[in-house]
Amino acid sequence: MVNIISGGAHAGRSIDVQDFLAVPLAATTFTEAIEWASRVRAGTAEVLAGRGLPVALVADEGGLGPLLPSNRTALDVLIEGVERAGLRPGHDIGIAIDIAATQFQQADGGYRLAAEDRELTPDELVEELADWCAHYPIVSLEDALGEDDWEGWNLATKRLAGRQLLGDDLFVTDLARLDRGITQGVANAVLVKPNQTGTLDSARGVVARAHAAGYGTVLSARSGETEDDWLADVAVG
CB 192 within 8 A of CB 237: no
Say how far apart CA 97 and CA 79 lie, in whole Å.
13
Instruction: List active site positions.
Output: 61, 193
Q: End-to-end alpha-carbon separation of the chain, Å?
A: 18
Beta partners for 19? 6, 98
| Dihedral, 27, 173, 41, 52 alpha carbons, nearest 10 | 150
Cα(20)–Cα(1) distance, integer angstroms: 9
DSSP β-ladder status, 118-120 and 216-219 = unpaired
